[in-house]
Structure 1
Amino acid sequence: MVKKAIIPAAGYGTRSLPITKVIPKEMFPIGVKPAIQFVVEEAIESGIEEILIVVSRTKNVIVDYFDHSLELEAFLEKKNKTHLLTKEVVPNIQLYYTRQPYARGLGDAVRLGKLFVGNEPFAVLLPDDIILEGKKPAIKQLIEEYETHGHSIIGLNKVAAEHLHKYGVIKGKELGAQMYHVMDIIEKPKKNPPSNLAVIGRYVFTPSIFSSLELLNPKEEEEIQLTDAIKELLAKEACYGKITDGKRFDIGSPDDYISLINMVYQKGV
Structure 2
Amino acid sequence: MVKKAIIPAAGYGTRNLPITKVVPKELFPIGNKPAINYVVEEAMAAGIEEILIVVSRSKNLIADYFDRSLELEAYLERKQKTKLLEKIKIPKIQIQYTRQPYAKGLGDAILLGKNFVGNEPFAVLLPDEVIFEKETDGLIQLTKLYDENKSSVLGLYKVEKQLLSSYGVVEWENLKKDIVEITSIVEKPVNNPPSDMAVIGRYVFNPSIFSCLEKTKPGVGGEIQLTDAINEMIKSEKIYGVTIHGNRFDISRFEEYLAANQYIQPFIE
Q: TM-score, normalised to structure 1's length?
A: 0.97
Specify the code of the residue in structure 1 equivalent to 2:248. Answer: R
Alpha-carbon deviation of 1:74?
1.3
Classify the secondary structure of the residue corresponding to 2:248. Answer: strand
Classify the secondary structure of the residue corresponding to 2:48. Answer: coil
Alpha-carbon deviation of 1:80?
2.2
Structure 2 match to 1:170:
170
Classify the secondary structure of the residue corresponding to 1:194. Answer: coil
CA distance in 1, matches of 2:236, 2:37: 35
Structure 1 match to 2:189:
189
Specify the code of the residue in structure 1 equivalent to 2:242. Answer: K
CA distance in 2, matches of 1:216, 1:50: 27
Is the deviation greater in 79-88 or in 22-31?
Answer: 79-88
Show CA shifts across 1:49-108 (max 9, x none): 000000111111100100111111111122222442111241111110001111111001
Structure 1 match to 2:250:
250
CA 1:198–1:134 in 2, change beyond 3 Å: closer, same or farther?
Answer: farther
Structure 2 match to 1:51:
51
Percent identity over the alignment? 59
Alpha-carbon deviation of 1:192?
1.1
Alpha-carbon deviation of 1:190?
1.1
Unaligned runs of 5+ in 1: none
CA distance in 2, matches of 1:236, 1:191: 28
1:130-141 equivalences under 5 Å are 130-141=130-141
1:25-174 equivalences under 5 Å are 25-174=25-174
CA contact (8 A) 2:218 2:225 kept: no
CA distance in 1, matches of 2:238, 2:16: 36
CA contact (8 A) 2:54 2:97 kept: yes
CA contact (8 A) 1:7 1:125 kept: yes
Unaligned runs of 5+ in 2: none
CA distance in 2, matches of 1:114, 1:70: 33
Q: TM-score, normalised to structure 2's length?
A: 0.97
Structure 2 match to 1:199:
199
CA contact (8 A) 1:10 1:103 kept: yes
Moved over 6 A (4+): none
Classify the secondary structure of the residue corresponding to 1:2. Answer: coil
